[in-house]
Structure 1
């Protein structure tokens, strides 16, 4: 088992037992570990998926603690990163496609979050516009 996997297991265990500070620390450590491994293997889908998941778990953790601004930020970070990857020529077409598919999984929580926690009109409009753009960019597979 990789270190980042063990850290995520500890984080999830702590989260499930409402040990917020402990869970937060483990998620942050896991993210650091994932980012370090990612530098050496920038197109590793498993690392990408775990990294996005760790940020989403942090967002849930902060939302559970009634800290919606921080939670929203932890939803934005992976969404912004997937946007960058899906458009950056340094990545292979295949990995850009994967990032594009991940955009949907990062955008949906942002839209759901903004329903529960009011966002400014321009932020909400921007998210909704992005949802339309992401849907339009999804290739049709036959």
Structure 2
């Protein structure tokens, strides 16, 4: 088992035991490990998905602690990164394809979160526009 995998497992175990500060620390460590590995192997979609998952775990943790602004921030980070990856020409078509496919995965929690917690009108409009853009740009598999 890779270090980041072990850290995510420990984070999940700590979260389930309601040891939230410990879970938070494990998730942050997992993100750090994942970012190092992913930087060395940017085409690895498993690392990318695990990285997104670690951020989403932190979002759930912060929501559980009554910190919706922090939770929203940790949902935004992977979505913004996938938007960047999908649009930057220096990356391979395969990576841009994966990033484009994961945009929907990162947008859905943002949309659900905005229904639970009031967001400004501009934020809601922006999220709805992103949702329409993501749905329109999803690659078609034949």
User: TM-score, normalising length from structure 2?
Assistant: 0.98
Establish whether residue 139 from structure 1 lines up as the match of residue 135 from structure 2: no
SS for the counterpart of 2:103 is: helix
User: What corresponds to 1:30 in structure 2?
Assistant: 30
Q: Using the TM superposition, give the Cα deviation of residue 12 of structure 1 relative to its aligned residue in structure 2, in angstroms.
A: 0.5
Distance 2:6 2:34 in 1: 12
User: What corresponds to 2:8 in structure 1?
Assistant: 8
Q: Using the TM superposition, give the Cα deviation of residue 135 of structure 1 relative to its aligned residue in structure 2, in angstroms.
A: 0.7
User: What corresponds to 1:57 in structure 2?
Assistant: 57
User: What corresponds to 1:73 in structure 2?
Assistant: 73
Distance 2:51 2:126 in 1: 24
Q: Using the TM superposition, give the Cα deviation of residue 24 of structure 1 relative to its aligned residue in structure 2, in angstroms.
A: 0.0
User: TM-score, normalising length from structure 1?
Assistant: 0.98
Q: Using the TM superposition, give the Cα deviation of residue 43 of structure 1 relative to its aligned residue in structure 2, in angstroms.
A: 1.1
Paired residues in the alignment total: 142
Establish whether residue 112 from structure 1 lines up as the match of residue 112 from structure 2: yes
User: What corresponds to 1:96 in structure 2?
Assistant: 96
SS for the counterpart of 2:34 is: helix
Distance 1:139 1:45 in 2: 17
- Output one character per residue of 1:78-108: Cα deviation in whole Å (capped at 9) or x when no partner: 0000000001112111110110110000000
Gaps of 5+ in 1: none
Distance 2:89 2:139 in 1: 18
Distance 1:47 1:22 in 2: 23
Large movers: runs of 4+ above 4 Å:
none
